[in-house]
Structure formats: C-alpha cells, structure tokens
Amino acid sequence: MSANHSTPSVSYSFTMRLAYPNHVGTLARIVNTIGKEGGDIGAVDIVASDTKGMTRDITVRPRDAAHQEQIIARVRRLSGVKVINVSDRVLLLHLGGKIAIQNKVPLVTRDALSMAYTPGVARVCEAIAAQPSKAWQLTIKGNSVAVVSDGTAVLGLGDIGPEAAMPVMEGKAMLFKEFAGIDAYPICLRTKNALEIIATVKHLSVGFGGINLEDISAPRCFDIERELQAQLDIPVFHDDQHGTAVVVLAALLNALRLTRQKLERLRIVISGAGAAGMAVARILLRGGARDIVACDREGVLHEGRLPNLNESKAWLVRHTNPRNLRGRIQDALRDANVFIGVSGPGTLQAKHLRRMAPKSIVFALANPTPEIMPEEAARYAFIVATGRSDYPNQINNVLAFPGIFRGALNVRSTQITESMKQAAARAIAACIAPRELSAEYIVPSVFNRQVVQRVAAAVQRAALQAGVAGKRK
C-alpha cells in the first residue's frame, strides 16, 4: 500500500510568490493548474501590481513533500509565469523556536529590582534553605514540568538525535502552556545511556514539579521511567506510553457505547509491541479486557517465541494472547472486534479487515502515515480513528497529558498511578454526552477547554484516594 497521504495537509503547506503579466485570465490559469495537480489553494495575496505585471503569493496545501515538488514544477512550466520564491510555511513557523520565557513581575523600578533580585532575594533563599518544601510556593517548581528526550524515537522518524528532537519538545511545551497553563521546558540530552539519562534528570529535577519523558526508544524507556520514579518524589510520566494509552481507552469506552459491547468480551489486536503497545495493553487489561493479542514485525507474540524476546515483549506474552494464537497479524484479526495500531505505515490492507467481527473498531494511530488509511479502513470498519488531525476521531495525547499534569501539580502528587490514568481516560470519554456520540465523534476536540478541567479534577481525586498527594485541595 502506498504511504502517500490521500488528502492535502496543512503540515506540508507552502507559499509560492509568482510574477506574471497583468492579463485577464492568467490567475485563473494558475489556479486551474494547481487544482488539476490536486493542490488545495488557501490564501491568494497581491504583493505588487501595475498595468504591466502582477506579483502574488499563493498558499497551497499538498499531500506530501513529493506532491509539493510536483505542483511547483507544473506551475513553472506555465508560459509567462515566473516562480520567484517558495516558502515552507511550517519551517517559517519554527524560525527562532516556538516558545520563550516571559517575566511575571515587571522590572521597571529600582524597588522592583531590589525585591526580585538582590538584596531582597536573599531572604527568599534563606526561607527555602530552612524549609526546602517552600520551593513549591516561592519558585517556579510548583507549576513547572521538564520535557526530556534523547531523540531516539521521535514521532515516526526514529533515532534522529537530540537536536532534531527539539522542535517536538518545544511543541510539547507549547501544549502544556496553552491547554493547562503549565510552564514546560524542552530538555534534550546528548546521551543514549540509560544510566546517564537517569542521573542527569535526577540532578536537574530540583526545579520541576514533574518530569515528562518523551520520544525515548523502547525498551530503555521502561527502565528509565521506573528508576526515575523510584528515585524522585515528583511524577515521572513517559507520554508515548501512558498518554497514548489513556486516550485509546477513552476512545474505546465511547466506541463501545455505540456498539453496545463490553470491554471484557472483546477480542483486541494490538499492532506494535514497543512503548505505546505495552502501555495500551496494560491500561486495557486493568480496565477489564481479557482477550488481547499483541503483534510485532514478526507476527503474533506467543509462548513459543519467549526465548527470543526482550523483557517487555515477554511481559506481553505472559499477560496477553489467552488462546495462544500464532501466525501473522492478519491471522490474529479473524473475528477480532478491535484493531489498535501503534506501529508503522502500511501494516494492514483493507482486505485484512474483512476478517474482523461485525461492527469492528479500527484505531490506526501511526503518525503521520497510519497502518491503513482511514478511507480504506472505513470500507469494512464501523468506527475508525487515527492520530491525525485531518480526519475525524483524532486520538491525540494532548487530550491527556496537560490535564494529568495539571491535576498532579495541583495536589503535589508524588507519582501518577494506574488509578489516576484510568480516571483521566474516563474523564475524557465523559466529555462527550451520549446524545453527541457518533461513529465519527468518539473523542472530544483537542480545543475543548473542558477536557483539561475535567481530567485535572478526576486526577486530583484519584491522587487523593491513592494516597500520593502531597497536599489536600
């Protein structure tokens, strides 16, 4: 199956600056050419104009990078039309980075400076030295999260290094601030050594109320998270695992309301046995699922493969596949109710979904190109979800982590427990009223401001009940 996107995407949008004779019909010729090539035209702006010539900026959304080049090449071939410049709108948006630090206290007088810095700040230092817990009130600690990555598992790009991971970590910090009012800081480490990562994060944790691990490859991510949580008294949360799992559970709970099925009776197939696959299996099992089959590149994980599996995949074998199925993923799909893809593009073909049970549910979450394109999956599946924003039912971690950390910080939770994750998932699901549910609306919009509030409140209650809250609200 082709990995090309089937619809234009703003994530590849570009702007062409074109110069051409100021003749009636020339713009129509340009627009028609772009349309025939499958480009989606956005803004059309005049840059300069006189009786002889016209200069315009035309913004276009292509399917992907190759499609962009195809459109530009076709426009270049138009007689009388000159392509002066092409700007990638996504790269322009990232120029200089996407975040900045802003002072909360105006420094406009000598008195303000004396209180914010020397000599007044010394009294604040002494107060914290006498009682270190006051750092929660008197510094940024109580509203700060470190977003930490080593760049080894960035999006679907893999191990691309810490510098290349920075744009994603900045984006994560933006989401924390925009949706939960949390100050988050991107920290990319130039090491892949698990012990060095653990030591580094432990030492820099002083100024943070929580640690969000991001884009760290499996199976190292499991050890790093576990060890850091054991050594720190603030939450350590690997979002690629738990954020994905929380939103998957929320979406599945709402999907089951439509299909009138019970989680306990479902046959579930998970494609991908890395960090996200492990976490999805764990949260579904804790939620009541009994029949999960996990698959990796070699096919179904079963007892016969145990000698050759790492610790995390061995855990999956011990806790899933109760019928001891063997074979390829398409074999596991026979009579399955749910497919959850957290693997890579092109894993499935539409014909494989014909083997699933009636009213099947397909979550193809590989990003940016899913295991199967939604329009293909919809030929056989009753409900389809992806990780993309240009299709209905986007299963996006931003529905989970801002509210989870907001709730955890509000009560100074020392960790994020399984019960807190379950509470977050059910809060997300409850954001859609029964009368609003449909096959194309099983998860709320990421711009629904009620989501963070409801998730935070649910997480706070769960933290208090679990006994991990450092203060009572």
- Positive or negative: CA dihedral 162, 165, 170, 174: negative
Q: How large is the C-alpha radius of gyration of the chain?
A: 25
Residue 142: both structure tokens together: 């109580």
> Is residue 104 annotated as part of the catalytic site, yes or no?
no
Residue identified by tokens 């991971």 is 165
On whether the CB atoms of residues 47 and 87 are closer than 8 A, the answer is no
Is the Cβ–Cβ distance between 367 and 344 less than 8 Å? no
Q: Which residue has the tokens 């389809």?
A: 384
The rounded distance, in Å, linking the Cα atoms of 63 and 11 is: 9
Measured CA to CA, the distance from residue 176 to residue 336 in angstroms comes to 37
Beta bridge partners of residue 56, listed in sequence order? 18, 46
The answer to whether residue 117 is catalytic is yes
The burial class, CB within 10 Å (0-12 / 13-18 / 19+), for 302 is buried
Look at residue 470 and give its three-state secondary structure.
coil
User: Which one of the listed residues 82, 117, 262, 473 is annotated catalytic?
Assistant: 117
3-state secondary structure of 248: helix
Helix pair 194-204, 220-231: axis angle to 10 deg? 30
Residue 213's φ and ψ, nearest 5 degrees, are -80, 140
What six digits make up the tokens of 391? 């299709």
How is residue 286 written in tokens?
Answer: 């804790």
Considering 20, 141, 172, 421, which one is annotated as catalytic? 172
Which sign does the torsion angle of CA 373, 377, 378, 381 carry? negative
In this structure, are strands 144-149 and 291-296 parallel, antiparallel, or unpaired? unpaired
Cβ 38 vs Cβ 8: under 8 Å: yes
Cα 421 to Cα 229, 265, 395, 424: the distances in Å are 16, 22, 16, 5
Cross-strand bridge partners of residue 119: none
Residues tagged active-site: 117, 172
